[in-house]
Amino acid sequence: MNQIAIISDIHGNIPALNAVLEDIKVRKIDKIICLGDLAGKGPNSAEAVDMVRQHCQVVLKGNWDYYLADEDPLDSLNPSNYWHQQLLGEERLKYMKNLPLYVEFYLSGKLVRLCHASPNDLFHRVYQHSALVELLKLFEETPSLNKKADIVGYGDIHGAYINYFEDKTLFNVGSVGNPLDIPQAAYTILEGKLDSKILAPYSITIVRVPYDIDKAINHAISSDMPDLEEYIKELQTAVYRKKLSKE
């Protein structure tokens, strides 16, 4: 049996990333895949990128990585992008710009596809209860591999779940640094026979990790970051900031 840890949506939260990496280490898992959104939103973008590069064998691109590395943040709709981009520096931005959008491999006879939001579109966002036709798009053939996926895992929505339909499995790994379901860091462990096309048992486990939220808040306060109050509220409550505003 092989074990793979899948992390996503760190968003510059180092206390949360440290807690998750420690839990992965205690379980003696040495293969880690990151599904993107390393930087932005939180205070420690550069450190998060460096730690992910150091610990993860595969790193995919998220929509925030795209905003920061592919767009001119001064033209962006979100003015806080400029602040986050300044922390990163040219070398890290170049690294982020070149990140791939998805990765595929076999696990216990199932084709597993991992991506940030969807395999070919960083901005196609699905939720657990999205229409079936939208969910099935994540499993379609890709340009690089002429086969439908059996299992798809993604990040992006900051809410962890596992869902089964039509002989398929869809899971969201949740968010390490900015969870919007419960205020604990989330990641996922896949267990099975890696690179094997023969059917065999496998498991998908969502892990919740408590971390020092006060420390993360203190990092944010001392960083002079934009949108500070909204960020602190999200860490404490796991409620998305747009849900708090009156519309």
Q: Are 39 and 65 in contact (CB under 8 A)?
A: yes
37 touches Mn ion (CB under 5 A): yes
List residues bridging with 192 in a β-sheet: 2
Q: Are 1 and 157 in contact (CB under 8 A)?
A: no
Sheet holding 151-154, edge to edge: 102-107, 110-115, 151-154, 168-172, 161-165
Please, which residue, 41 or 55, has the CB nearer to Mn ion? 41
Phi (first) and psi of residue 175, to 5 degrees: -120, 135
Longest dimension (CA), the chain: 53
What is the spatial distance between Cα 128 and Cα 109, in angstroms, rounded to a whole number?
A: 25
Q: Are 3 and 29 in contact (CB under 8 A)?
A: yes
Please, which residue, 9 or 234, has the CB nearer to Mn ion? 9
Interface with Mn ion: number of residues (CB under 5 A): 2
Taking the complex as a whole, the smallest distance from the CB of residue 244 to Mn ion amounts, in Å, to 18
Please, which residue, 67 or 95, has the CB nearer to Mn ion? 67
Please, which residue, 116 or 193, has the CB nearer to Mn ion? 116
Helix orientation angle between 228-237 and 213-223, rounded to the nearest 10 degrees: 180
Q: Point out which span in 5-13, 70-78, 146-154, 181-189 binds Mn ion (CB under 5 A).
A: 5-13
Please, which residue, 107 or 173, has the CB nearer to Mn ion? 173
Residue holding tokens 């205070």? 43
Taking the complex as a whole, the smallest distance from the CB of residue 155 to Mn ion amounts, in Å, to 7
Build a one-symbol-per-residue string for 194-213: x at contacts with Mn ion by CB under 5 A, - elsewhere: --------------------
Taking the complex as a whole, the smallest distance from the CB of residue 89 to Mn ion amounts, in Å, to 21
181 touches Mn ion (CB under 5 A): no
Q: Which of 4, 6, 7, 9 binds Mn ion (CB under 5 A)?
A: 9
23 touches Mn ion (CB under 5 A): no
Taking the complex as a whole, the smallest distance from the CB of residue 164 to Mn ion amounts, in Å, to 25
Nearest residue to the partner Mn ion, using Cβ: 37
Compute the Cα dihedral for 157, 30, 207, 111 and give only its sign: positive
What is the spatial distance between Cα 171 and Cα 187, in angstroms, rounded to a whole number?
A: 11
Residue of 142, 153, 161 whose CA lies nearest to 110: 153
Q: Point out which span in 17-25, 34-42, 132-140, 181-189 binds Mn ion (CB under 5 A).
A: 34-42
Taking the complex as a whole, the smallest distance from the CB of residue 246 to Mn ion amounts, in Å, to 24
**Residue ranges binding Mn ion (CB under 5 A):** 9, 37
